[in-house]
Amino acid sequence: MPDKQVGAEILTIKEVSEYLKVTERTIYRLAAAKKIPGFKVGGAWRFSKVEIDQWIRRQSEDGASDANLANAEEKDDD
Q: 29-39: per-residue pLDDT in tens?
A: 999 999 999 99
Residue 59, CB half-sphere, CA atoms under 13 Å: how many?
17
pTM listed for this prediction = 0.73
b vs e for 35-58, b when ≥16 Cβ sit within 10 Å of the residue's Cβ? bbebeeeeeebbbbeeebeebeee
Q: Is pLDDT above 60 for 61? A: yes
Q: Is pLDDT above 90 for 77? A: no
